[in-house]
Structure 1
Amino acid sequence: MPSAVIAEYDPEWPVRAHHLLDEVRAAFSVLPGAEGFTYDHIGSTSVPGLGAKPIIDLQVCLPELPALDELAALLAPTPFVPAHGSRPDSPGVYRDARRPGEHDDAVYEKRLFHVPDTVILHVRRADSPFARFVVDFRDWLRAHPDQAARYERIKRDLADDHADAADYDDYTRAKTAFFTEIGPGLTRWAAGS
């Protein structure tokens, strides 16, 4: 997997995201309760004007997580395959990070698929606090262009710091400081919007 490189915003990102989410929606339509699943384009590529790694992040939320093999079979007609991360400790492959003492650990479990080097599909439980966070964060960045510009500067600096890395796992971990800093304000904003 290549190191983190921040590209200029591409208006084709949301178009591609929409088409891929349609493919995933069709694949998952046979699952019980499929009409209640949520499908979102998340991450930096979902924020107009924001520079990003040119990797589209998508999210599907279901009441319960089927087994990885079951989802992989459903996704077989699509370009998505199971993702395993670059290293054994790659962040966010089998579960999302949680703050100690918060919620049942099971709600942070997830299934991860990708189209290698171009798209990541996060399949999470509907009650996952992290699933809510990524949507709130996307919407907060869209509503706060000054913070989106600041986030892009931080990401560009981190990408430069990790330019020689074999993967972008350490880059991903380093962004946590920004999330921690803006977390309380984001939570207040999300509660009021």
Structure 2
Amino acid sequence: MVDQTNPAELVEYRAAWAQQAAQVLDAVATAIAGLPGQESARLDHIGSTAVPGLAAKPFVDLQLRISPLPAEHDLVLLLEPLGFVRARGSRPDSPGVDRDLPRGSLPADPRVWQKLLFWNEEEQVILHVRRADSPWGLYTAWFRDWLRANPEARSRYEKIKRALSTQQVGKADYDDYTRGKTQFFDEVQAEFESWAAHSVR
């Protein structure tokens, strides 16, 4: 019998996601107090759950931008009491686990793509830890804000997400869904970078 579960199943936007994100981000900020670079660290609610009206997988994506990138062991000790464990991905080549794929027009040292990924099962929260100078860190925030400000782009993105989601029924994970969205990112990268250049202060 074919497994009909869908690991990339989408749900309608939930206003509670914003409050949940704020609470977890506050807890993370407290937990990392004392780490080198924490004074200038940035904590963000990113991804589709951060865009009102956009259907999303019911996992809240958060981001910590900090330099230097903390040692994995140090972060594990600090985040474990909050329920976070180091995420390794469902496959050896799962995207965005230990490194972000280079993209965009911003010049970058190859080392800035390194990252650490954490998962909180109880809260259903993913925490992406990136260097403060990671272009991906900027892109995630710009993309979120561009979707918030651009209903037409938000509608296009949701249509693609729904189409990709239906293709994941019976699969063991949502890696193919994640990779499938890359084409849309490639198509709109220059558009949201240009928008950010004229809108973000």
TM range (shorter): over 0.9
Pairing 1:13-28 to 2, within 5 Å after superposition: 13-28=17-32
Pairing 1:77-96 to 2, within 5 Å after superposition: 77-96=81-100
Which residue in 1 is equivalent to 2:144? 138
Letter of the 2:179 partner, please give it.
R
SS of structure 1 residue aligned to 2:81: coil
User: What is the CA distance between 1:149 and its match in structure 2?
Assistant: 1.5
**What percentage of aligned pairs have identical amino acids?**
51
In structure 1, stretches of 5+ residues that fail to align are none
Letter of the 2:128 partner, please give it.
H
Q: Among residues 99, 103, 106, which one is paired with 2:111 in the alignment? A: 106
Q: Among residues 8, 12, 35, which one is paired with 2:12 in the alignment? A: 8
CA distance in structure 2 between the partners assigned to 1:164 and 1:16 by the alignment: 30
Which residue in 2 is equivalent to 1:33? 37
CA distance in structure 2 between the partners assigned to 1:165 and 1:45 by the alignment: 23
Is the 2:6–2:165 contact (alpha carbons within 8 Å) kept by the matching residues of 1?
A: no
In structure 2, stretches of 5+ residues that fail to align are none
* TM-score, length of structure 1 as denominator length: 0.95
CA distance in structure 1 between the partners assigned to 2:6 and 2:92 by the alignment: 17
1:181 counterpart = 2:187: yes
Letter of the 1:161 partner, please give it.
Q
Pairing 1:109-124 to 2, within 5 Å after superposition: 109-116=114-121, 118-124=124-130
Q: Among residues 151, 159, 166, which one is paired with 2:165 in the alignment? A: 159
Letter of the 1:75 partner, please give it.
L
Is the 2:104–2:189 contact (alpha carbons within 8 Å) kept by the matching residues of 1?
A: no
Q: Name the stretch that deviates more: 37-46 or 182-191.
A: 182-191
1:129 counterpart = 2:135: yes
User: What is the CA distance between 1:100 and its match in structure 2?
Assistant: 9.7
User: What is the CA distance between 1:184 and its match in structure 2?
Assistant: 1.0
Q: Name the stretch that deviates more: 176-185 or 96-105.
A: 96-105
CA distance in structure 2 between the partners assigned to 1:169 and 1:162 by the alignment: 9
User: What is the CA distance between 1:174 and its match in structure 2?
Assistant: 0.4
* TM-score, length of structure 2 as denominator length: 0.92
- Evaluate the alpha carbon distance shift between residue 2 and residue 163 of structure 1 in structure 2; reply closer, same or farther with a 3 A threshold: closer
1:48 counterpart = 2:52: yes
Aligned length: 193
User: What is the CA distance between 1:112 and its match in structure 2?
Assistant: 0.6
